Amino acid sequence: MKALGRHLLAEYHGCDPELLDDIDRIEVLLNRAASIAGANVVASVFHPFAPQGVTGVVVVEESHLSIHTWPEHGYAAVDFYTCGDCHPERADDYLREQLGASAGEVMKVVRGLEDEDASMEVRSHVVFTSADDDAEDAGGSTGSAVELRCEIGADGCTAGSGN
């Protein structure tokens, strides 16, 4: 089954509110994420909201990356849609780390499936949280991450976890 594109939909929580409101830094980070994914940047457009927040899109030859931020909630919604030889997962890893996300989720959808009844399919849905928050609340040690993964396949969802 060949897919023409991969679409990652990401939700980042616990991000640095000051960073989420800095249009210049957000633009630099999203352009860098596109490069890390192996995409060829064509243009970028970013817009600040009043009283706070940023929205922006980086157009790449392989499609686009977009972000919408809510600094007052420490939240960012991000889309990575690519085709060809790009690696949107690399962009997600980079941006998640740079924004300081302590929790969130990423859904991977393959699009443009050829020779299938449906042209889109959800391949995975990963929920992540930092064990730092849980350990600090319990007065314990910190430093590891907890990830709950749901891989979608022909037999339905198989849940698993990793750390």
Mean pLDDT of the 28-45 span: 98
Nearby residues of 68 by Cβ (< 8 Å), 6 or more positions away = 53, 54, 55, 76, 77, 78
**Which residue type sits at 125?**
H
Q: How confident is the model at residue 116 (pLDDT cuts 50, 70, 90)?
A: confident
Average pLDDT over residues 100-123: 92
Domain spans in the chain, listed from the N-terminal domain onward: 5-124
Question: For position 130, what pLDDT does the model report?
Answer: 78
> Burial, 44: exposed, middle or buried (Cβ in 10 Å; 0-12, 13-18, 19+)?
middle
What is the Cα–Cα distance from 58 to 40, expressed in whole angstroms?
10
Q: Is residue 155 predicted with pLDDT exceeding 80? A: no
Catalytic residue among 7, 83, 102, 125: 83
Consecutive H or E run containing 6: strand 5-13
Q: What secondary structure letter does DSSP report for 105?
A: E
pLDDT at position 15: 98
For 53-63, the pLDDT digits (tens) are 999 999 999 99
Does the active-site annotation cover 83?
yes
pLDDT at 2: 84
- Tell me whether residue 150 is one of the annotated catalytic residues: no
d(CA 59, CA 77): 17
Over residues 84-98, the mean pLDDT reads: 95
Provide the pLDDT for residue 152.
57
| Nearest Cα residue to 12 out of 59, 80, 58 | 80
Read off the pLDDT of residues 117-133 as tens digits, 9 standing for 90 and up.
Answer: 889 999 999 999 975 54
Look at residue 72 and give its three-state secondary structure.
helix
Nearest to 33 by CA among 65, 8, 55, 9: 65
Lowest mean pLDDT among 19-28, 62-71, 135-144: 135-144
Taking the model in full, what pTM does it have?
0.81
Query: Does residue 15 carry a catalytic annotation?
Result: no
Catalytic residue among 15, 63, 86, 102: 63
The listed CATH number (3.60.90.10, 3.50.50.60, 3.20.20.140, 1.20.140.10) that belongs to domain 5-124: 3.60.90.10
Q: Specify which residues 61 forms β-bridges with.
A: none
User: Of residues 13, 64, 68, 87, which has the active-site annotation?
Assistant: 68
**pLDDT exceeds cutoff 70 at 137:** no
